Amino acid sequence: MRSRTCSLIAATTVLVAANLPAQVRGADGLPPRDEWQNVPGILAALGDIRGKRIADVAAGEGYLTKHVSRAVGPSGRVYAVELGEKELAALRALAQRDSFANIQVIESSAADPRLPSDLDGVVILNSYHELTDYKSMLAGIKRALRPGAPLVLVDNAAGVGWFTKRDDQASHHALDPKYVVAELQEAGFEISNRRDDFITQPYAQWLIVARRPR
């Protein structure tokens, strides 16, 4: 059954696609992802990461991993964390390419990201709502971060009038950022930045920057 969130995104996709020349639409009908995902804003939220050690948790097939790899440079390291077999295979293939030799793939569990210690930053893009055991995952991320290092989250905003319960929103691929702020604080993080309007088109996404206390 199609979710209300997916229906909204699909409807938005149709509207956006209708106003785009065919040659600039992706397979999903949206503009190229680099035009709307605001990767520069995500990297800016991580800070100066040249030569640093950054984890991309729930990395998918490596869309953001590639951007972070370029940003940290050859002296840095990117840990691409996933648990899906298809995604892990894609990430491992990516890490075999000479231009992405600074990527290390980590197979996580649903409750443990299995990260190395003293990381300079962690990012979760469009996937926090998918974490079934977010409390354990946040605990694992907090342990891995060095004091003061950021955890950057970007995810889909729940629309006004949508489901009022956290689990209902998450099952429909979105979250009100108020839930995320509360969960981060409960896990012992400090909130240093929140932008509910981080992305407005083709659909709304928020950004939250949390830090492990010094």
Q: How far apart are CA 108 and CA 192, in angstroms?
A: 27
Is 73 inside a domain boundary? yes
Query: pLDDT by residue (tens digit) across 172-199?
Result: 999 999 999 999 999 999 999 999 999 9
Place 23 in a pLDDT band, splitting at 50, 70 and 90. very low
- Domains of the chain: total: 1
The answer to whether residue 9 is domain-embedded is: no
Cα–Cα distance, 152 to 193 (Å, whole number): 9
Say if 11 falls within a structural domain. Answer: no
| 18 in any annotated domain | no
Q: C-alpha distances in angstroms, 191 versus 95, 183, 196? A: 32, 11, 13
Q: What is the pLDDT of residue 161?
A: 73
* pLDDT, tens only, 156-176: 999 777 788 999 999 999 999
Classified as helix, coil or strand, 72 is helix
Residue 22 lies in a domain: no
Neighbours of 83 (CB within 10 A): 15
CATH code, 130:
3.40.50.150
Give the range of the structural domain holding residue 89, as residue numbers without chain letter: 34-211
Do the domain assignments include residue 129?
A: yes
State pTM to two decimals: 0.87
| 32: pLDDT strictly greater than 80 | yes
In a domain, 10, yes or no: no
